Amino acid sequence: MYTKIITADNTETFLNEKVKESYHSQTGAVEEALKKYSIPCKIRELAEKAKITKEKITILDVCSGLGYNGAMAISEALEQNSECRIEVIGLEFDPEIIARIQDVNPPIPFYQYYKRLTPNHLSFQEGDVTVTIILGDAREICKKLLPDYFDAIFFDPFSPKTSPEMWQVDFFKEMYRVRREKIHYGIMRDRIYMKKHLR
C-alpha cells in the first residue's frame, strides 16, 4: 500500500498506492514543509514575538501524515526562540502512516522526537513542546476543537480529485472558527488561501 520514494531534494516520502498520490511534493518533501508551510505561516515571526509576549504558539496540522510540516515548524520556531512554548495538534485518518514515521529520516532537527509517535502512542512532550495526534475524520474532529485557538493551520490533504470531501466549504468554515484573529494559513495542493473559500 505504501512505496517509499525519494523526492527532488533527496528526502524521503511515501506513495499511497490506494490513493495514487504521494504524501509530499515530488519537488522536495522537506523543502515543501519549509516553503509551503513554515515560511508562509510566519513561524519564525511568531516565535520572535513570543520572546516578548511569552505566549504559546499553537499549530493545527490537518492531515499530518509523516509529521514533516509540524516538525519543521517546531524546528524553525526553536531556532528563532529556544525558549518558545509550542503545541502542535495533528489530525490524521490513517494510523499506518503514523507507523511509517519510523521508516524515514528527514533532515529536520526536531524530527528525532517525532519518532516517539506510533499508532498506539500518539502524543509526547519534549521540553516546552507538546505534540498530539488525533486519529479520525478531521472534518468531525475539527468541530470539537476550541474556537479562536490556533496561530497557524497547515492544510495538507490529498488533492481535491482524490479527496473531494476534504475540500468542502463547511470544513474550511470549521478551520476558520478555530483560528486566532491574525491567522496564517499554509496550503499545498491548490496553492490558494482558504480565505478565498470563505468569501
Residue identified by cell 513561524 is 43
169's grid cell: 466549504
Q: Mean pLDDT throughout 112-130?
A: 98
> Residue 64's domain spans which residues?
29-198
In a domain, 36, yes or no: yes
| Contact predicate 134/98, CB 8 Å | no
What pLDDT, on a 0 to 100 scale, did the predictor assign at position 26? Answer: 87
Q: Which residues contact 85 (CB under 8 A, 6 or more apart)?
A: 50, 54, 55, 56, 57, 128, 129
| Contact predicate 155/186, CB 8 Å | yes
Q: Which among 60, 62, 71, 69 is positioned nearest to 137, based on CA atoms?
A: 62
In a domain, 11, yes or no: no
Would the CA dihedral through 86, 90, 13, 172 be positive or negative? negative
What pLDDT, on a 0 to 100 scale, did the predictor assign at position 195? Answer: 39
Q: How much of the chain, in percent, has pLDDT values that exceed 70?
A: 91
In a domain, 182, yes or no: yes
In a domain, 87, yes or no: yes
What pLDDT, on a 0 to 100 scale, did the predictor assign at position 190? Answer: 39
- Condensed to tens digits (0 to 9), the pLDDT of residues 135-194 reads 999 999 999 999 999 999 999 999 999 999 999 999 999 999 999 875 455 544 433 334
In a domain, 24, yes or no: no
pLDDT exceeds cutoff 90 at 52? yes
DSSP helix/strand/coil, 136: coil
In a domain, 5, yes or no: no
**CA 132 and chain centroid, separation:** 11
Work out the pLDDT band at 13, boundaries 50, 70, 90.
Answer: very high
In a domain, 6, yes or no: no
Q: Identify the CATH number of the domain in which residue 149 sits.
A: 3.40.50.150
Count of the separate structural domains present in the chain = 1
In a domain, 9, yes or no: no
